[in-house]
Amino acid sequence: MTYLVTGGAGFIGSNFIYYMFEKYGDEIRIINLDKLTYAGNLANLKEIEGRENYRFIRADITDREAISAVFRENEIDRVVHFAAESHVDRSIVDPEIFVRTNVLGTATLLNCAKEAWSTEDGGFVEGKRFLHVSTDEVFGSLPEPREGEEPTYFYETTPYDPHSPYSASKASSDLIVKAYIDTYGFPANITNCSNNYGAYQFPEKLIPLVIANALAGKSLPVYGDGKNIRDWLYVRDHAKGIDMVLQKGRIGETYNIGGHNERTNITIIKTILKTLQELLPDDDPRKANVSEDLITFVKDRLGHDRRYAIAPDKIKREVGWEPDTPFEEGIRLTVKWYLEHQDWVENVTSGDYQQ
C-alpha cells in the first residue's frame, strides 16, 4: 500500500508519517511530497529518513507536471493531503498565497489523482482513496453558552461561514473536493479537525510560542481579553483518526475530528506556565523567567472567531474513533518534548533549518 502524503514535512504531516510507520512498519510505503516552505522542516523526519519504504520529493502541489509525474511513476493507493498555508495572521497579510496553495493546489492534486485512477467505464480503480485534511475554522464562530444553556457544536452538517482568508481558502478547497465526489463519484473523504498540538509544531503557533517565550523571559502576547475558546486535539490522536477514516470511513463522507478539550487561550497559557514550573528543575536558571507577569494583552486579531468546538459523534459512531489523550496529559507530553528538543527549537527559530 503506497501513501502519497502532501505536506509531510510539516507539523501534522510528520506526526502522521511517524504514526503510520509505528503502526504498519514495512507493510506500507510512504512518499512525502513537500515544497519546504518556512513551515516544512526535514529535521522533523530525521528518525525515519533512511527507511527503504520512505521517499521524499520536493515539489509544489500547484505544479501539475511534477504531481502528474509522481502518479505516473508510482502506484499511489492513498493520498493524504495535509499541504496548506495555515496561519491566520499570515493570511491577513498575504491572502493570495493562501488561495494559490490551498485552492489551486488542491484542485491540481484532485485532477492528477482523477487522471491516474480513472477507468474506461468512467469509474475509478477499486481501493483508491483521497483524504483531504481540513479545519474547524471553515464553520466560523460559535456563541459562548449562556448560564443554563446547552453549548452548541460544529457538526458535519453545520453551514460553512469562514471569517479569515485562511479559513475561506480551506472552505473553498473543501467544496472543490465535495464537487469531485458529487460530479465524478471520486473516492474521497474530508476531515475537519480542531486545533492540534504536540511535537514538531512551528514556533509561531500559540503553544510552542508560549513555551519558547516563557523560557526566554519574553512577553506572552494574548489577543483581546484572552477568552477566545478553542477545542484542542493531541496530534497523534488526529493521526489515528485519519488512519481510521481511510480504513473504515464511507467514501464521500466528511468526518469531524475533535478532542472535546475546550479551553480559553488564557487558560492554555496559564496551564503551560504551570507545567513548565513543574518540569523545570530548581537549578535551571530559566525557571525564574516563567511567570504570569509575562502575559501581555494586545489588540485583538482582525476577524477573530470567538469559539470553536467540534462534535466528533459521527466519527465515533461510524469509524469507532475517539481521542486517547486527555488535555492535561497531552500538554505535559508536549511541554516535555520541547524542553528535551531545544536544539530543534533553536534550529527553527534561527532559520538554519531552511538551509
Whether residue 272 is contained in a domain is answered as no
Q: Which of 60, 137, 174, 262 is catalytic?
A: 137
Active site (annotated) includes residue 136 = yes
Determine, yes or no, domain membership for 269.
no
Catalytic residue, candidates 34, 60, 85, 136: 136
Length of the chain: 355
**Cell triple for 34:** 513537500
Can you give the pLDDT at residue 86? Answer: 82
Q: Let me know the angle formed at the C-alpha of 132 by 158 and 83, rounded to the nearest 5 degrees.
A: 120
Number of domains in the chain: 1
* 13: in domain: yes
Does the residue 56 lie in any domain? yes
pLDDT score of 89: 83
| pTM of this structure | 0.94
DSSP characters over 169-235: HHHHHHHHHHHHHHHH---EEEEEE-EEESTT--TTSHHHHHHHHHHHT--EEEETTS--EEEEEEH
Per the structure, the complete domain to which residue 82 belongs is given by 2-202+231-261+304-326
Residue 349 within a domain:
no
CATH number of domain containing 253: 3.40.50.720
Exactly one of 19, 166, 197, 234 is catalytic; which is it? 166
Question: Does the annotation mark 137 as catalytic?
Answer: yes
340 falls within a domain: no
pLDDT at 353: 60
Contacts of 46 (CB under 8 A, 6+ apart): none
Tell me if 341 is assigned to some domain: no
For residue 315, the tally of other CB atoms under 10 A from its CB is 25
Q: Which residues contact 217 (CB under 8 A, 6 or more apart)?
A: 286, 288, 289, 294
Q: Is residue 299 part of a domain?
A: no
Nine-digit cell string for 33: 511530497
Tens of pLDDT along the chain (355 residues)?
Answer: 999 999 999 999 999 999 999 999 999 999 999 999 888 999 999 999 999 999 999 999 999 999 999 999 999 999 999 999 987 888 899 999 999 999 999 999 999 999 999 999 999 999 999 999 999 999 999 988 778 788 899 999 999 999 999 999 999 999 999 999 999 999 999 999 999 999 999 888 889 999 999 999 999 989 888 888 889 999 999 999 999 999 999 999 999 999 888 899 999 999 999 999 999 999 999 999 999 999 999 887 787 888 999 999 999 999 999 999 999 999 999 999 999 999 999 888 877 766 6
